Amino acid sequence: MTGKSNDAPAIGIDLGTTYSCVAVWKHNRIEIIPNDQGNRTTPSSVAFVDEERLIGDGAKNQAAMNPANTRQATKDAGAIAGLNVMRMINEPTAAAIAYGLDNESDIIGKINTLFFDLGGGTFDVSLITIEEGAIFEVKAVAGDTHLGVGISITRWIPKVQHMLQEFFDRKELCQSVNPDEAVAYGAAVLASKLSGNNTDKSVQDVVLLDVTPLSLGVSVLGNLFNVLIPRNTPIPTSKSKLYWTAYDNQSASTISVHQGERSRSTDNHLLGSFTISELPLAPRGKTSVMVCFEIDIDGILTVTAAVTSTGKMEKLAISNEHGRLSKEEIEKMVTDAKKYQHEDLEFKKRTNAYNALEDCLYKVKNKIKDCNVKKRVDPEIFREMEKAIARTTQWIEENQAAPFSELDFMKAHLELVCMPLF
């Protein structure tokens, strides 16, 4: 964050669940700003009693709860306080910047680093690649918004440190930066870089590459979720895919944008939808639409759909704060995806098999209408093909929820009987 004037100092604020900390880049280094009681961290508590406000230690016993994941509210509060909120980043990512710069001389080439943050009220883990030259690339993020130790003293719990070392082959933990101050430290470094007022090379060289917390895609035929940008893809990024019409003479197509890890589109979070119309009338599969997903450095998703033959285009923009899920909701979706993994796989197989059978039936129906086919195919074989097509058409109508094995068998049988058509 910075003040409104261009020459205002850049500060980093760690709004922790139990304690908060503020840092500033000053005199070519990071300085932690103490509160009015001289403490370098302040309890994240505010109380309004009678006609006075209690902040920090004075409010600890007055606090009931503090809503988590209020990302937009935090930005709004910063604006009200006269601050320019330049970027909001996850705690482990900010900590990575702090530890990376503090140990810059020890980093040769590229290293994979795990940042473990068991805080007072939440638990966060990030896998981050730190590359020589202060390049930080977030590879994966995970956590639990309901797991914390009540107070921010993880670094003083020997058992937690011992368990981490045991898990990672007794490697020494890096604790060169005070864990209570690491997040504010890293945030201040990034704020200083973004402000454009810092000429220090180590700060100017910092490059932060974040990732998408959940997969992003569109809903296709059969309520199937088709992923364009997988979970944990580094941003900024863009991905395009070509889609075709599903019906004869289809004049419009609705693009439904979802976020999640489930196979069914409706089991994922709907971010938004829009319709592209005036499609050229043609048989199914002949008119194509190019769909492009683009995520910028601030996490804003822009979805465009363009008709390839005419160039007609529609667009949808989705910001982080409008329509996106909270951290807690993201974690639930990841957990649900693991829980229903087998069910989702079966749904995906069945839906693909149903679509494949329907597509095969559509093709043989069109092929058998060709007058040349009747001339070159034995009449008895031709009648068998007609019967197979009629039986399959009726079977599909009566067996909408048929399992994968039956759908796959019906397609194989239809292809076998109608082989003379191809």
Phi, psi of 111, rounded to the nearest 5 degrees? -130, 145
pLDDT exceeds 80 at position 214: yes
Convert the pLDDT of each residue in 331-379 to its tens digit.
889 899 999 999 999 999 999 999 999 999 999 999 988 877 888 888 9
Q: What is the mean pLDDT of residues 21-29?
A: 86
Q: What is the mean pLDDT of residues 224-237?
A: 93
Nearest Cα neighbor of 43 from 70, 68, 15, 71 is 15
In sequence order, the 6+-apart residues with CB closer than 8 A to the CB of 129 are 110, 111, 112, 113, 136, 137, 139
pLDDT band, residue 48 (cuts 50/70/90): low
- Cα separation, 34 vs 23, in Å, equals 9
- Rounded (10°) CA dihedral 298, 219, 228, 272: -10
- Specify the pLDDT at position 150: 53
pLDDT exceeds 50 at position 130: yes
- Specify the pLDDT at position 59: 40
- Cα separation, 41 vs 19, in Å, equals 6
Residue 136 CB burial class (10 angstroms; 0-12, 13-18, ≥19) = buried
> CA quadruple 369, 374, 377, 381: dihedral positive or negative?
positive
Of the candidate ranges 13-27, 81-95, 261-275, 307-321, the one whose mean pLDDT is the lowest: 81-95
- Specify the pLDDT at position 64: 32
**Which residue would you say has higher pLDDT here, 178 or 277?**
277
Nearest Cα neighbor of 343 from 416, 270, 263 is 263
pLDDT band, residue 380 (cuts 50/70/90): very high
Please report the domains of the chain, with CATH numbers, ordered by start residue. Answer: 2-211 (3.30.420.40), 216-324 (2.60.34.10), 341-421 (1.20.1270.10)
Q: What is the mean pLDDT of residues 27-43?
A: 87
pLDDT band, residue 28 (cuts 50/70/90): confident
- Specify the pLDDT at position 402: 94
pLDDT band, residue 281 (cuts 50/70/90): very high
CA 30 to chain centre: 31
Of the candidate ranges 95-104, 164-173, 302-311, the one whose mean pLDDT is the lowest: 95-104
- Token pair in block for residue 139: 């590879």
pLDDT exceeds 50 at position 66: no
- Cα separation, 400 vs 254, in Å, equals 23
pLDDT exceeds 80 at position 324: no
- Token pair in block for residue 331: 């974690």
Average pLDDT of the residues of the chain: 83
Q: Measuring CA to CA, how many Å separate 227 from each of 220, 268, 359, 405?
A: 10, 11, 21, 25
Nearest Cα neighbor of 133 from 83, 207, 70, 40 is 207
- Specify the pLDDT at position 68: 38
- Are 83 and 1 contacting, i.e. CB atoms less than 8 angstroms apart? yes
- Specify the pLDDT at position 321: 55
In sequence order, the 6+-apart residues with CB closer than 8 A to the CB of 319 are 299, 300, 301
- Specify the pLDDT at position 243: 97
Which of the residue ranges 123-127, 372-376, 406-410 has the most confident prediction, judged by mean pLDDT? 406-410
pLDDT exceeds 90 at position 412: yes
Q: What value, to the nearest 5°, has the Cα angle with vertex 321 and ends 317 and 327?
A: 125
- Specify the pLDDT at position 86: 83
List the beta bridge partners of residue 419: none
Nearest Cα neighbor of 295 from 218, 240, 225 is 240
Whether pTM > 0.85 for this model: the answer is no
Nearest Cα neighbor of 198 from 189, 207, 185, 186 is 189
pLDDT band, residue 141 (cuts 50/70/90): confident
Q: What is the mean pLDDT of residues 250-267?
A: 96
pLDDT exceeds 70 at position 51: no
- Token pair in block for residue 336: 């649900």
Q: Which residue spans within 98-236 are E strands per DSSP?
A: 110-118, 123-131, 135-144, 207-211, 216-220, 224-229, 234-235
pLDDT band, residue 308 (cuts 50/70/90): very high
The DSSP result for 294-340, as a single string, is EE-TT--EEEEEEETTT--EEEEEE-SSSSPPPHHHHHHHHHHHHHT
- Specify the pLDDT at position 67: 38
Q: What is the mean pLDDT of residues 378-391?
A: 93
Q: Is 394 helix (H, G, I), strand (E, B) or coil?
A: helix
- Cα separation, 202 vs 192, in Å, equals 11
Q: Which residue spans within 132-281 are E strands per DSSP?
A: 135-144, 207-211, 216-220, 224-229, 234-235, 237-244, 253-259, 269-276
- Are 73 and 80 contacting, i.e. CB atoms less than 8 angstroms apart? no
Residue with tokens 């004869």: 248
- Specify the pLDDT at position 89: 79
Phi, psi of 82, rounded to the nearest 5 degrees? 85, 20
Residue 9 CB burial class (10 angstroms; 0-12, 13-18, ≥19) = middle
pLDDT exceeds 90 at position 275: yes
Q: What single-letter amino acid sits at 225?
A: F
